[in-house]
Amino acid sequence: MIRCISPIDGSVYAERTPLTAEAAHAQVAQARAAQADWAARPLAERIALVRAGVANVGAMNDEIVPELAHQMGRPIRYGGEFGGFDERASYMAEIAEEALADIIVEDSDAFRRVIKRVPHGVVLVVAPWNYPYMTAINTVAPALIAGNAVVLKHASQTPLVGERMEQAFHAAGVPEAVFQNVFLDHQTTSELIAARSFGFVNFTGSVPGGQAMERAAAGTFTGVGLELGGKDPGYVCDDADLDAAAETLIDGAMFNSGQCCCGIERIYVAEALFEAFVEKAVAIVSGYKLGNPLDPETTLGPMAHARFAETVRGQVAEAVAAGATAHIPTFAEDDGGAYLTPQILTGVTHEMRVMREESFGPVVGIMPVKDDAEAIAMMNDSDFGLTASVWTQDAARAETIADQIETGTVFMNRADYLDPGLCWTGCKDTGRGGGLSLIGYHNLTRPKSYHLKKA
């Protein structure tokens, strides 16, 4: 069984039976059979149906918000994910005509030479639990709009999300075989990929999970898009707006109990501002209310699973044993399980796991740096590269720094945000490929060239 253990109280919130290998192959075959007719529909019709599906998800939001709290612990006070879900899908719908337009090289009496973008066929989307709607829609919406059929496999922690999306899109008129939510175990998923069941696979999750996807696809030449781990840095320059930097970076480190793909996990501060920044950071975190996510007063819910919290506790304990200072006393609501005290650490070094390995929890290490060169070196001293956040009043300085950071996205004076107009991408162990933007469409289609001699 695939079971969702609610972080609220450790009870089984939902369980589903995974498909057998035979049934899984049959459902993929249905998707493949339906895809050509879907791709043959006018682009405007596909866009309208996807938009309607998105709107249907929005109509369910009052039910979805407490479901998310039960499944992965996010407090209901934040209202769910529909704002970002709608923003991303709407942007991709708006640019679809331009992104998928034919590239006309020549259209004369003698020749028609054109490059078209054609769908891969069936796209497998393997989505994570931390932002289960927004991460899924990043690929689901453009893949469907581009003419692909989509098979969605959601994380076991958030099984109701895929069902909600499937219900919403089918009610809008997207054919059942064209968009399918499936429950699969790891072995069956790997077998499907190895059997060339999909034209493209998009995976968001852990580094070991991404490696498993690549191993399954080895030799099949199936395209694989991967967004894996992160250890995203923030750098507070000596001319930064200190209040804004502290507020945004600490929120980026702690929101959603630190369970954000592009959450801030390490912060480097110009020496002159270091003490003041730490003081502000500690004050912010000390004001959080840890508790049941169904309580509107709760600002910090439990981590999605007790074992995730145990990883963070271990990193913090090791750092303190090695000389780091923990600034936040244990909260009364910290139960030693999924409910975890958020933590600010100083006196940390890059020899500590908490500064090198992904924490994916409410902890951040803060270090002083003497100048931009040291900050750049520290930011690049990581196996990961998803985003980085630079705080300065000087845009030219920020761009100069950004040019030297090994990462997928660089923010100036903001953090922890996904702009659908820009390619969402990473480097190093964070993965490869790119979602959203024009490039997202390019990755969900393949170029096909036509060289037509008329005379």
**pLDDT tens, residue by residue, 158-181:** 999 999 999 999 999 999 999 999
CA angle 435, 184, 192 (to 5 degrees): 70
pLDDT recorded at residue 82: 98
304-312 average pLDDT score: 97
Whole-number Å distance between alpha carbons of 155 and 131: 11
pLDDT recorded at residue 404: 98
Annotated active-site residue 227? The verdict is yes
Whole-number Å distance between alpha carbons of 217 and 296: 45
Q: Which of 261, 262, 358, 423 is catalytic?
A: 261
In DSSP terms, which residues pair with 16 in a beta bridge?
A: 2
Q: Tell me: pLDDT of 6 over 90.
A: yes
Q: Which of 81, 227, 265, 358 is catalytic?
A: 227
235-260 average pLDDT score: 98
pLDDT recorded at residue 264: 98
pLDDT recorded at residue 51: 98
Domain boundaries, the chain: 2-228+430-453, 232-419
Coil, strand or helix at 12: strand
Q: Tell me: pLDDT of 185 over 90.
A: yes
Asked whether the beta carbons of 416 and 251 are under 8 A apart, the reply is: yes
414-422 average pLDDT score: 95
In DSSP terms, which residues pair with 390 in a beta bridge?
A: 235, 412
Please state the pTM of the whole predicted model. Answer: 0.97
pLDDT recorded at residue 68: 98
pLDDT recorded at residue 455: 82
Q: For domain 2-228+430-453, which CATH number applies: 3.60.20.30, 3.30.1330.10, 3.40.605.10, 3.90.1150.10?
A: 3.40.605.10
Quote the CATH superfamily of domain 232-419: Aldehyde Dehydrogenase; Chain A, domain 2 (3.40.309.10)
pLDDT recorded at residue 298: 98
